[in-house]
Chain A
């Protein structure tokens, strides 16, 4: 069964600190892996998208890595800001279902404290 597991479930860090969120998946084969940020009461917003052949992708203070051998991805946030407080969702797109069915992770709820 295609699954995407994320850890930790929740995390509290001080403003200005770095953090790393983890994503383990069993989806195989897959065409791409995405990280989304979802603020409370808002829809998810795409941060990064990586194909299976890419190892890293950056978007400002967000850097995603992908290890297709171990089926792991991480999202590193540098110099955190209060506005980074949100849920972060790892999403994998299986080959075959294409654009239609994504497999969503369980999410990590990040709170950045002043």
Chain B
């Protein structure tokens, strides 16, 4: 079992839908991440939150909107996605200022119709 929990595990949505991905961790980590991973490719960084503040946005289209309501939760709000946005979306967390590895969730498999 992973210590970073992501829901839902699978999501199918149309291009006009609005949905949200959720991520939760209870390890006391103060840095949380969203990654996008296409098949047979390494994860690509999308957003980083540090101490609940957005610190990195890797030029992600505005149809992806992150939110960090508190130190344990991370959301990714989706709206008007494109078919090329279909991918595995991974959440990760770590403690800033340490050499701890990032702990990843098992991801949400997103399919855009």
Residues of A that sit less than 8 Å from B by CB? 31-32, 34, 36, 41-46, 49, 51, 89, 93, 98-102, 104-107, 109
The answer to whether B99 touches A43, judged by C-beta atoms less than 8 angstroms apart, is: no
Q: Would A100 and B101 count as touching, CB distance under 8 A?
A: no
Query: What residues of chain B have their CB less than 8 Å away from a CB belonging to chain A?
Result: 2, 4, 31, 40-43, 45, 48, 50, 55-56, 88, 90, 92, 94-99, 101-107, 109
| Contact among B56, B90, B97 for A43, CB-based, below 8 A | B90
Q: Given A46, A100, A106, which contacts B48 in the complex, CB threshold below 8 Å?
A: A100
Given contacts A36-B104, A107-B40, 12 further A-B contacts (CB under 8 A): A42-B107, A43-B107, A44-B104, A46-B101, A49-B99, A49-B101, A98-B96, A99-B94, A99-B96, A100-B48, A101-B45, A101-B56
Give the residue name and chain of the B residue nearest to A46 (CB).
Answer: B101
Question: Residues of A contacting B97 with CB < 8 Å?
Answer: 98-99
CA distance A34 to B94 in the complex (A): 14
How near does chain B come to A107, taking the closest CB pair, in angstroms? Answer: 6
Closest B residue to A6 by CB, please name it: B42
- Nearest opposing residue in chain B for A106, CB measure: B42
A45 to B90, CA, bound (A): 12
